[in-house]
Structure 1
Amino acid sequence: MSEPVARLAADETAPLAGNALALPRSVAGLDAVQRAHLAAHALAEAAPTLSARSVTTRGQRVALGAVAVALVVALVAAPQQALTVAVGMLSAVYLAALIYRGLLFYQGIRGGQVIRVSDEQARSLHVDDLPVYTVLIPVLHEPLMSVLVANLKRLEYPADRLDIRLLVEADDTITRAALEGLELDAYFTVVDIPPSQPRTKPKACNFGLGEARGGLVTIYDAEDRPEPLQLRRAAYALGHLGPEVACIQAQLAFYNSRQNLLTRWFALDYGAWFHYLLPGLEALRAPIPLGGTSNHFRAEVLYGIGGWDPWNVTEDADLGLRLHRLGYQVEVLESVTWEEANSDGINWIRQRSRWYKGYLQTLLVHLRAGGPVPTRGGFASWAGLLLFVGGTPLLAALNGFQWGLTIAWALTRSEVIAGWFPPTVYYVAMISAVLGNGLVIYFNVLTARAMGRPDLMWAALLSPGYWFLMWLAALKAFVQLILKPSYWEKTAHGLDEGDHAD
């Protein structure tokens, strides 16, 4: 048992006390149905405080209900004053989240730490010194399996050290038809997952871990094109970093970013994330919400913390916060995995609303009494959780709120709306709207420059259009959090128009 997990197990106040190893290393003797149950429920049964299987705890429901009642009473008793206070509080939260994001950019611009492994270093490891590497590929309704397999075969890693596991739902006829006739090398294993709820990517990954052979584990999505040396770079880095580094996150970029305006916005989004925000979080030693692919883990740590939460639709972000809570570190690796950027607006909103919903799930999980932040969190944990994880969907939702009030006042010059903005609230809101949004556009311009992509400059200047899509996705996320919290909306792949490799 690793030292951080051992410390946690000895802590009677911690959610995992007495059951630190929530996900067993071996599933020998279990049939597929039992393994599926374990994959779906092991974390929730061992540490319910850490799982999103229950969206809220009783205490959280009581607290949220009390806030709702207080708001209704205030609106009835003194509507103008209540709305003024509400607008002021929302404006303050918005400004705080913007300031925190600006701090992250500042830290990133200063040169946040990124792990660099040269080609020579990566190839210097003798085959006998390379660990078995498990690569988990959760797939659902994927017709382009031949492309995926071809991309994986480009990985420069010894065949006898590879354990690539294609995780396929047993009733997924589309993926199975695409697999027929493909010549799979011996290191490929097709893993059949019995249909059961929740039908999510993290549950499939937990199931795939059951018979995994690797000392290191990573995940790729079906459309991913990892650079061939990525596994060797990760193995070298984790072999030379201390045991406190449990995971290294490779960088993500898009091969079709020039397809249309939406893919250019998406490329700027990811560029800011990996050039500035992640290095900024790392510099502040704040929790890092992992991306959904190209995370490279030490296997013993992954088992020791219970694997992924199958009920959280951004299981990667949740896992990053859980690692932070247990005292582990996440580093960023200079190695690129190329993905397909969403080029269709409806498909993009489906994907982004799932991400926002998962961030809200993660916020609720990590704010619970006895949960990660209340139990052990310092300032970095609180700021990262509230202002970044929670602030990301909240900023997107509040943008529409601010625009709506601004447009309504400009059209009507309403004294009622003006009354909600006494001088203090007005200046906070004005700074947020003008300076804050202006800085975000400026950060996007910086990102385009850092990426060496002058063609993205005009997309950066048109960023408010992207924010409108974010607002729609945030509204959908809040609704789905209530109605369908663990529903996983599938992102369609193969929408790129040919090869737009950057």
Structure 2
Amino acid sequence: MTGRVLPVDGSVPAELEQSALAEAVDGLRRRDPSASAAVPFVRWQRWALIGIGAVVIIGFVLIPQWTAPIVTAAATLLYLAAMAQRIQLFVLGLDDRTIMRVSDEEACAIADHELPRYTVLVPAYGEPEVISQLLTNLGALDYPADRLEILILLEADDEETVNAARAAGVEAPLRLVLVPPAEPRTKPKACNYGMQFADGEIVTIYDAEDRPDPLQLRRAVILFRRDPGLACVQARLAFHNGDQNLLTAWFTAEYGLWFSYLLPGLSSRRWPVPLGGTSNHLRADVLAEAGGWDPYNVTEDADLGLRLARRGYRTGVLDSVTWEEANSDPINWIRQRSRWYKGYLQSCLVALRRPLETVRVIGVPGTAAMILLLAGTPIAAATNLIFWMMTVIWVLGQPAQIQVAFPPAVYYASLISFVIGNVLALYSTLVGARARGDNNLLVACLLTPLYWFLMAVAALKGIWQLLLRPSYWEKTVHGLDQGPAASSDASPESPS
């Protein structure tokens, strides 16, 4: 972080552009190669995966009667472990003390001159239609302009969005930062570039369509002062268009569970917290020490949360809502979710490159929680399709080969996982919906198994892309919430 001064139009002097770009793209990889996902698999991971795959394939060819039940038993154990972890995190999150709160009165009581310098990064690409609303939403932040800088990070060759931003009129404390076109074309690369020109003591990120609680920055400042051990504060994310269609209802209920219960549960045990892609507030000095974001990781947020934990830092969850647009198109949703799943696997692989060091810092329970949440989620989702197909084949023809895969011990464990796991998943989803008062999501929650099918498709796609296009960033299209009707009741929520 250098705090170099830029013109409002975002033009960067030629002598600075290339050095800032080189730092944004290769800074982390140069300083700490093992922390970068530029190489998806290090040597021992690559050979371990090849070895496991070879053993399984040879086993199915030579001794299928032994291999099939062993593989099925391993998958069942994964399901049972993931189910147990979800229950544990959910129960922990039920404790109201796991989420941090700052009242409106306390947030407003701090004098303006006592507030630290704050940097807000807003990366956007191919989104000219949201620029006007973006400026309105950012203008609603309750923070003194002389202690605030908002850097709107646009790709220099994204002429439509750049022209829209300039036409809208960017005035202090907002500044345009034009990121030179370079691979990888990712959000974290843009954020790293923007940090070369930032001077805030605290840094946060908002997406272009976000509508944050106006007092969110003040609340985060108070939490950092209240608890000096915090390195990061993650605000809650919620959707304003949860009633647009069945997909947005599923997405809204899922987010309610994730940000109201599971992340607070992780935080309460000081386990790694995979950050959301927006509204995470970070101490700038800690961010710099951690190396910034990894431009080769397509879930740079989750990766940074893990990296902070592996360095011994803590993350808290703040009860302050940022409203977003839920993805309402199934194809667009699969593109987004497959990127998330791919990034979860990337982040877990990077964190486990030095497994003994990771265990030493975050402990065995924390490491297990990280693996089950980040690697277990996409792997279990992908495996679902295989078991559903086996179930259909068994119902239609009852072939002996499938019966071989389920000896009595495996069969009963699988049955417990299926019955109890599905009931608890539906129940926790209902509670997640209730967390933000969405009682109208009842029908969607009861139809959640259909949502799991979409997750399975996205997981298979994400795993495939991890092997072939690990750093490819699939752009999520925004602005599908059908305009004014969806946003009329979307005023940011404040904690009571």
TM-score for the superposition, normalised by structure 1: 0.92
Identify which of 260, 270, 290 aligns with 2:245: 260
1:385-439 CA-partner distances (Å, limit 9, x unpaired): 2111111112211222221111111111111101110011111211111211121
For residues 74 and 144 of structure 2, the distance between their equivalents in structure 1, rounded to whole angstroms, comes to: 57
Partner of 1:344: 329
Shift in Å, 1:181 = 1.9
Partner of 1:167: 153
**Counterpart residue identity of residue 190, structure 1:** L
Partner of 1:55: 40
Q: Determine if the alignment matches structure 1 residue 279 to structure 2 residue 258.
A: no
Identify which of 47, 51, 63 aligns with 1:78: 63
Identify which of 221, 225, 228 aligns with 1:239: 225
Q: Determine if the alignment matches structure 1 residue 451 to structure 2 residue 439.
A: no
Shift in Å, 1:451 = 2.4
Contact 2:119 2:204 survives alignment (8 Å):
yes
1:330-366 CA-partner distances (Å, limit 9, x unpaired): 0011111000000101111110000000000011111
- 1:65-144 equivalences under 5 Å are 65-143=50-128, 144=130
Partner of 2:213: 227
Shift in Å, 1:472 = 0.6
Cα gap change, 1:63/1:112 in structure 2, threshold over 3 Å: closer, same or farther?
Answer: farther
SS at match of 1:136: strand
For residues 182 and 371 of structure 1, the distance between their equivalents in structure 2, rounded to whole angstroms, comes to: 52
Cα gap change, 1:55/1:112 in structure 2, threshold over 3 Å: closer, same or farther?
Answer: farther
Shift in Å, 1:54 = 0.3
**Counterpart residue identity of residue 120, structure 2:** V
**Counterpart residue identity of residue 273, structure 2:** I
1:32-84 CA-partner distances (Å, limit 9, x unpaired): 12211111111111111111010000111111121122222212220221111
**Counterpart residue identity of residue 307, structure 1:** G
Partner of 1:198: 184
Identify which of 471, 478, 482 aligns with 2:463: 478
Partner of 1:316: 301
Shift in Å, 1:253 = 0.6
- 1:304-453 equivalences under 5 Å are 304-369=289-354, 373-374=358-359, 376-453=361-438
For residues 102 and 497 of structure 1, the distance between their equivalents in structure 2, rounded to whole angstroms, comes to: 36
Partner of 1:8: none
For residues 163 and 173 of structure 2, the distance between their equivalents in structure 1, rounded to whole angstroms, comes to: 20
**Counterpart residue identity of residue 496, structure 1:** D
Contact 2:274 2:306 survives alignment (8 Å):
yes
**Counterpart residue identity of residue 311, structure 1:** Y
Contact 1:115 1:332 survives alignment (8 Å):
yes
For residues 65 and 206 of structure 2, the distance between their equivalents in structure 1, rounded to whole angstroms, comes to: 52
Shift in Å, 1:247 = 0.5
For residues 364 and 267 of structure 2, the distance between their equivalents in structure 1, rounded to whole angstroms, comes to: 14
- 1:145-156 equivalences under 5 Å are 145-156=131-142
For residues 175 and 371 of structure 1, the distance between their equivalents in structure 2, rounded to whole angstroms, comes to: 46
SS at match of 2:98: coil
Query: What is the CA RMSD across the aligned residues, in angstroms?
Result: 1.5
Shift in Å, 1:375 = 5.2
Contact 1:373 1:381 survives alignment (8 Å):
no
Partner of 2:8: none
Shift in Å, 1:106 = 1.1
Cα gap change, 1:478/1:456 in structure 2, threshold over 3 Å: closer, same or farther?
Answer: same
Partner of 2:10: none
For residues 336 and 359 of structure 2, the distance between their equivalents in structure 1, rounded to whole angstroms, comes to: 30
For residues 424 and 27 of structure 1, the distance between their equivalents in structure 2, rounded to whole angstroms, comes to: 64
Shift in Å, 1:372 = 5.2
For residues 81 and 293 of structure 2, the distance between their equivalents in structure 1, rounded to whole angstroms, comes to: 30
- Structure 1: tracts of 5 or more residues without a match: 1-23
Q: Which moved more, 1:61-70 or 1:147-156?
A: 61-70
**Counterpart residue identity of residue 298, structure 1:** R
The 4+ residue runs of structure 1 with deviation greater than 4 A are 24-30
Shift in Å, 1:381 = 2.2
TM-score for the superposition, normalised by structure 2: 0.94
Shift in Å, 1:26 = 6.1
**Counterpart residue identity of residue 438, structure 2:** R
For residues 50 and 381 of structure 1, the distance between their equivalents in structure 2, rounded to whole angstroms, comes to: 18
Identify which of 198, 201, 219 aligns with 1:212: 198
Contact 2:68 2:404 survives alignment (8 Å):
no
SS at match of 2:288: helix
SS at match of 1:322: helix
For residues 370 and 476 of structure 1, the distance between their equivalents in structure 2, rounded to whole angstroms, comes to: 27
Contact 2:255 2:432 survives alignment (8 Å):
no
For residues 89 and 102 of structure 2, the distance between their equivalents in structure 1, rounded to whole angstroms, comes to: 24
- Structure 2: tracts of 5 or more residues without a match: 6-12, 491-496
SS at match of 1:192: strand
1:246-303 CA-partner distances (Å, limit 9, x unpaired): 0100111111111011100000010001111011112222110000000011111111
**Counterpart residue identity of residue 447, structure 1:** G
